[in-house]
């Protein structure tokens, strides 16, 4: 993920102090849960009632919790307590831990299912298909990537994980994005007849010029609540054209 952060005195507290904001949101969630847990429908204290849960197979229960965990963590951050997650799933914390031995295992499962999972391997194949003009390939790929991957929930979870220093972002970049950038830059060099620098790091920085712009477009729309009405796919087309036109110039800066 590639994005810009500008800090100024006029920014809201959650922008200037993101870790404190995440903790505050988690604390509010815990307080809400505690308040709910101490009352019945008629506002009287609980009398030790047991939670009623629907019987499911172990696999179905795991899938249910995993599906809710993505929604929960993307909304409240990874510092939120698993007790609150169990409440959101309608299960006891003990039952939650029967499906996932600890919070780290649950977060890893969320990464595999909801962060890396939506990325389609076929996209790599399509990006290498030189029977199709590269501009068309890139526009198609990033249109699908924007709609499938760069959703509000995906971005929130990705950014929360980065601020909490959980290894989601470095793992995603190492496992997927580096290969993606290599392919894009190699195909761009072939299309434009450009000789690339030997350094893999420099090549990938060229790729970030495109990938970063489109990722930041999604962040502006889904996180910053940018109200621009210009269709995202039109903006993506603009960035693709600008990237391809700029490849020879970028290479010249390395000479």
> Are 143 and 203 contacting, i.e. CB atoms less than 8 angstroms apart?
no
State the pLDDT at residue 237. Answer: 98
Identify the pLDDT of residue 5. 38
Q: Are 82 and 105 in contact (CB under 8 A)?
A: no
CB 70 within 8 A of CB 153: yes
Per-position pLDDT tens, the chain of length 255:
444 333 333 333 343 344 454 454 555 555 555 555 555 455 554 444 444 556 778 898 899 999 999 999 999 998 888 899 999 888 889 999 999 999 999 999 999 999 999 999 999 999 999 999 999 999 999 999 999 999 999 999 999 999 988 899 999 999 999 999 999 999 999 999 999 999 999 999 999 999 999 999 999 999 999 988 999 999 999 999 999 999 999 988 876
Residue 57 has a pLDDT of 85
Look at residue 26 in the predicted model and tell me its pLDDT. 53
pLDDT score, position 34: 55
Does this model's pTM top 0.75? Answer: yes
Could you give the CA distance from residue 16 to residue 47 in angstroms, rounded to a whole number? 44
What pLDDT, on the 0 to 100 scale, is given for residue 1? Answer: 46
**Cα–Cα distance between 19 and 192 in angstroms, integer?**
44
Considering only CA atoms, which of 159, 62, 53 is closest in space to residue 105?
62
Report the residue count for the chain.
255
Distances (CA, A) of 173 to 114, 128, 139, 148, 204: 15, 20, 21, 17, 11
């Amino acid at each position: 993920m590639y994005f810009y952060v500008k800090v100024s005195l006029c920014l809201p507290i959650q922008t200037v102090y993101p870790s404190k904001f995440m903790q505050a949101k988690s604390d509010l969630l815990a307080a809400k849960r505690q308040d709910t847990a101490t009352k019945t429908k008629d506002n009287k204290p609980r009398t030790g009632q047991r939670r009623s849960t629907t019987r499911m197979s172990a696999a179905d229960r795991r899938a249910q919790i995993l599906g809710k965990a993505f929604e929960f963590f993307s909304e409240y951050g990874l510092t939120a307590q698993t007790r609150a997650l169990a409440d959101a799933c309608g299960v006891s914390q003990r039952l939650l831990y029967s499906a996932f031995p600890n919070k780290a295992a649950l977060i890893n499962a969320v990464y595999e299912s909801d962060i890396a999972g939506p990325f389609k391997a076929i996209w790599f194949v399509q990006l290498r298909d030189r029977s199709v003009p590269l501009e068309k390939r890139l526009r198609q790929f990033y249109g699908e990537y924007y709609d499938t991957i760069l959703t509000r929930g995906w971005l929130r979870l990705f950014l929360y994980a980065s601020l909490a220093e959980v290894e989601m972002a470095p793992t995603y970049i190492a496992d997927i994005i580096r290969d993606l950038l290599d392919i894009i830059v190699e195909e761009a060099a072939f299309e434009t007849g450009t000789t690339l620098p030997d350094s893999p790091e420099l090549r990938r920085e060229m790729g970030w010029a495109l990938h970063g712009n489109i990722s930041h477009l999604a962040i502006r729309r889904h996180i910053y609540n940018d109200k621009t009405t210009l269709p995202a796919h039109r903006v993506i087309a603009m960035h693709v054209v600008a990237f391809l036109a700029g490849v020879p110039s970028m290479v010249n800066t390395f000479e």
